[in-house]
A = this chain, B = another copy of it.
């Protein structure tokens, strides 16, 4: 194929690559994790990238959650276009909270579908299975999760015998090994099958537990550095970003700062007048108790938008309250899948629904979480030197494939 060939996906022109492109989405990778791992001397490859490659910062999508951002990264567009703006939304007609992890909710095609259609060899590896069906929608090639690596079949996943390939046992869904499996499989696939495009998406189990620079975090980044070194040695152009950052959400004694918003609204506006939805909620909540810095509120008959908005804005720890239209414009969200109000809490505060609906007993360490504007800045690192875009270009994590492919031409 000629090096001048390009492919248009969702309105953006992507160059066709000559070298394998590997994009790594490090779940919950606040920039400070990398900085501190380099300082601690456990990440020599990332230190080398910092000196010889490219290091930028970019903005992720708000809500700074996993699914909206993974979908933005693999479509190159914001949720207003691809449609996935959380794990949950409220289906108003059914009056039911609906999970948004089915591909039927996806409104844009992925880079993987477009490139595999055009003949590229594509491999997608995720830590948790919840992302697999969305990321793999309509693509040909390899697509599997570490969580269900033992169940991968040629028919469904384009690959099988993954435990043999990696030499690793099936990891627990709550472990650092779940992410390590993603990297280990990525290195083996690059060695054996040399895909043109590979996407490795980890889980933030470690980042929810350990602060940047602490032993638990540094061990994770040392592991990652080891596999990145191998991907680099195999000739891949590597682009590294994150779906979102991560911050402590506690006081100095480690107690979480939680606004139980449904309780507050029930008391002040009246029971049944409002419905608070936390789009962070998913079947895997052990490490964050479904508490993040973003919520959306639906108003029922008899609730006044201005009044509810003002009451929420006056709560300590709230950063901003936006109407549906304001939030859709500012965060580029699909207006039909967010509530009447969108609420973002400050860096150290999370939003819950009702006290009784959050089980914090499994939180063995002080809460660290995400979802807000405070977790929007994420790393954009490449193992090649890349010319900086014009200074008025707002860098996004979902530019990562574009720039990595530019560097692979």
Using a CB–CB distance below 8 Å, which chain A residues touch chain B?
A: 29, 31-36, 38-40, 46, 49-50, 55-57, 211-214, 248, 250-255, 257, 316, 347-348, 365-366, 374, 377, 379, 381, 394
Contact call B35/A253, Cβ cutoff below 8 A: yes
B contact residues around A55 at 8 Å (CB): 251-253, 255
Q: Apart from A32-B250, A35-B250, list 15 A-B contacts with CB within 8 A.
A: A31-B348, A34-B252, A35-B252, A35-B366, A36-B214, A38-B254, A39-B254, A39-B365, A50-B252, A50-B254, A50-B255, A57-B257, A57-B348, A211-B211, A252-B379
Contact call B211/A32, Cβ cutoff below 8 A: yes
B contact residues around A32 at 8 Å (CB): 211, 248, 250, 252
B contact residues around A50 at 8 Å (CB): 252-255
Contact partner, A36, options B35, B211, B394, Cβ 8 Å: B211
A124-B253 Cα distance, complex, nearest whole Å: 27
Q: Which of A49, A255, A348 has the most chain B CB atoms closer than 10 A to its own CB? A: A348
User: If the complex has contacts A57-B251, A211-B212, A253-B55, are A348 and B366 also in contact, measured as CB distance less than 8 A?
Assistant: no
Contact call A366/B31, Cβ cutoff below 8 A: no
A141-B250 Cα distance, complex, nearest whole Å: 39
B contact residues around A316 at 8 Å (CB): 394
A selection of 24 A-B contacts at a CB cut-off of 8 Å is A31-B248, A31-B250, A31-B251, A31-B348, A32-B248, A32-B250, A32-B252, A34-B252, A34-B253, A35-B251, A35-B252, A35-B254, A39-B366, A40-B214, A46-B252, A50-B255, A55-B252, A55-B253, A57-B251, A213-B214, A214-B214, A251-B379, A252-B381, A253-B381
B contact residues around A348 at 8 Å (CB): 31, 57, 377
B contact residues around A57 at 8 Å (CB): 251-252, 257, 348
A365-B41 Cα distance, complex, nearest whole Å: 13
Contact call A253/B347, Cβ cutoff below 8 A: no
Contact call A56/B251, Cβ cutoff below 8 A: yes
B contact residues around A251 at 8 Å (CB): 31, 35, 55-57, 379
Instruction: Give the Cβ gap from A216 to chain B, nearest Cβ, in Å.
Output: 10
B contact residues around A255 at 8 Å (CB): 50, 55
A211-B215 Cα distance, complex, nearest whole Å: 13
Closest B residue by C-beta to A29: B252
B contact residues around A381 at 8 Å (CB): 252-253
A17-B50 Cα distance, complex, nearest whole Å: 56
Instruction: Give the Cβ gap from A210 to chain B, nearest Cβ, in Å.
Output: 8
